[in-house]
Amino acid sequence: MAFDEMLNAGADPRPPYRSYHEWYAAQDPANLIAKSRDAENIFRKTGITFNVYGHEDQSEKLIPFDIIPRIISAREWRKLAQGIEQRVIALNAFLDDIYHKQEIIKAGRVPRALIEKNPTFLPEMIGMRPPGGVYTHIVGTDIVRTGEDQFYVLEDNARTPSGVSYMLENRETMMQMFPELFYANKVRPVEDYPYQLRQSLQELAPPGCKGKPRVAVLTPGIYNSAYYEHSFLADQMGVELVEGSDLRVIDGKVCMRTTLGYQAIDVLYRRVDDDFLDPLTFRPDSALGIPGIMDVYRAGNITIANAPGTGICDDKAIYSYMPEIVEFYTGRKAMLENVPTWRCSEEDSLKYVLEHIDELVVKEVHGSGGYGMLVGPTATKKERLEFAEKLKAKPANYIAQPTLSLSTVPILVKNGVAPRHVDLRPYVLVSKTVKIIPGGLTRVALKEGSLVVNSSQGGGTKDTWVLED
């Protein structure tokens, strides 16, 4: 049976939820349903939407928002934050190492082929050290819970982690609709994230930057599924939102077109994938990037956040080595555990996965958004057989994990509340220090029994409260 984050085995509220539970018990259910509709209208009017690529209906969709918050105690958060900080420090050290001395490969802790044959490993970054030595300026660490004190890292997002705009809008909506709850509960703020993000990016401006660093957000454009977030963050930070066509390299600097002519940018928060960043270095057919930006980057005249080549940390085969990676660079065992993982590239693991495919979750190593995966226990026999053929054809493309009993939190349904499975994506800012935003984006599987929380697969979101002591 899944661990219920709100109620203990005796159906009494756990300590973090006591105040909220008391408030909820005094509410009129019809009023809460009306509030839920109000929240949906707020999201619709604000334009908080996303696109699902390849979907029959190409229209923009609302991410469903549930008005019952997910509540985490100060003690629980401290444990999480310490583990997340350790992991993020290790990821940054790993990136610096694989693009320089490759000590972890020489030590035999990670196979050379897994790095050098990985499509997300960029040979162009070998010997290149970003300003301040920081590769992962913004990290999203996906965490699941299975018990009172059992937390696991599900995956790392070190390339272009998304979703933070929903975290901010969820909080603003809750404060607007239920101000009394924030008087009654000491909830740590998240609304200063845009300020913290801008400050963090400015701290890592290139050494030659004079005066206040100029920051811009690079978006692929309005047809990108996360365009709302790109424009939202630029607006909240008070910086320009630019596309590749707005930028050009002039006198060794990346410059932005303005009404006063072209002006140099010091820090570019890019939401464009590596392949499309510079047509002179990567894909020559890219219309989304800036020709020559990698030359400016190599010369130390611009900071790109996150650094090119960080996508290798999102690879699920690399993920399977994270316990070794954390210990290698920090000298300590990982505080947050990995989910046990079978690498299908290994013959014995592949044999095990094929024999137990009905019990496992099988994922593409480069997959994201809930695509390209098989949830064995809920798949049909036909789906499992078809997926087994894919595994046999390209075993190195896949990893497998046990089906965890993810924790549940309540969501509002027509006849009251019902438990649904969740995960959590806390956001981390790395500059001269590591700042972990207290909370993050809680994603919830709205279908009863479902373990898939991704919005592209029908999941929703919740406001995440971290309580003060």
Q: Are residues 63 and 158 in the same domain?
A: yes
Q: Are residues 371 and 451 in the same domain?
A: no
List alpha helices for 185-289, DSSP H: 193-203, 227-237
C-alpha to C-alpha distance for 253 and 295, rounded to whole angstroms: 9
Q: Judge whether 137 lies within some domain.
A: yes
List of residues 6+ apart from 27 with CB closer than 8 A: none
Q: Judge whether 287 lies within some domain.
A: no
How many domains is the chain built from?
Answer: 2
Return the pLDDT at 53.
Answer: 47
Q: Are residues 416 and 369 in the same domain?
A: no
CA angle 102, 106, 109 (to 5 degrees): 95
Q: Are 277 and 310 contacting, i.e. CB atoms less than 8 angstroms apart?
A: no
Count of CB atoms within 10 A of residue 111's CB? 14
Q: Dump the DSSP string for 324-379.
A: HHHHHHHSS--SSEEPP-EETTSHHHHHHHHHTTTTEEEEETT--TT-SEEEGGGS
Q: Are residues 344 and 461 in the same domain?
A: no
Q: Judge whether 387 lies within some domain.
A: yes
Q: Are 124 and 278 contacting, i.e. CB atoms less than 8 angstroms apart?
A: no
Q: Are residues 350 and 450 in the same domain?
A: no
Q: Are residues 372 and 327 in the same domain?
A: no
Of 368, 402, 436, which residue sits at a domain end? 402
Q: Judge whether 306 lies within some domain.
A: yes
Three-state secondary structure call for residue 40 = helix
Q: Are residues 324 and 385 in the same domain?
A: no
58 CB-contact burial (10 Å; exposed 0-12 / middle 13-18 / buried 19+): exposed
Of 379, 402, 425, which residue sits at a domain end? 402
C-alpha to C-alpha distance for 443 and 161, rounded to whole angstroms: 14
Return the pLDDT at 49.
Answer: 61
> For the segment 227-259, what is each residue's pLDDT rounded down to a tens digit?
999 999 999 999 999 999 999 999 999 999 999
Return the pLDDT at 114.
Answer: 93
C-alpha to C-alpha distance for 82 and 276, rounded to whole angstroms: 35
448 CB-contact burial (10 Å; exposed 0-12 / middle 13-18 / buried 19+): exposed
Of 354, 374, 402, which residue sits at a domain end? 402
One-letter amino acid at 48 equals I
What is the domain range of residue 174?
A: 15-206+302-337+405-466
Q: Are residues 414 and 390 in the same domain?
A: no
Return the pLDDT at 44.
Answer: 84
Give the CA count within 13 Å in the CB-facing half-sphere of 25: 8
Residue 270 in tokens: 């890019």
> For the segment 75-109, what is each residue's pLDDT rounded down to a tens digit?
999 999 999 999 999 999 999 999 999 999 999 99
Burial 245-278, CB ≥16 within 10 A → b, else e: ebbbbeeebbbbeeeeebebbbbbbbbbbbbbbb
Q: Are residues 202 and 347 in the same domain?
A: no
Q: What is the CATH number of the domain that holds 356?
A: 3.30.1490.270
Q: Are residues 89 and 163 in the same domain?
A: yes
Q: Judge whether 3 lies within some domain.
A: no
Q: Judge whether 61 lies within some domain.
A: yes
Return the pLDDT at 60.
Answer: 63
Q: Are residues 420 and 363 in the same domain?
A: no
Q: Are residues 356 and 442 in the same domain?
A: no
Q: Judge whether 237 lies within some domain.
A: no
Q: Judge whether 273 lies within some domain.
A: no
Compute mean pLDDT per 10 residues along the chain, 469 residues long, and list them: 92 96 94 94 77 52 90 97 98 98 97 94 96 97 95 94 94 95 96 97 93 96 91 97 97 95 96 96 96 97 97 94 97 96 94 95 77 84 93 93 93 92 97 96 91 78 96
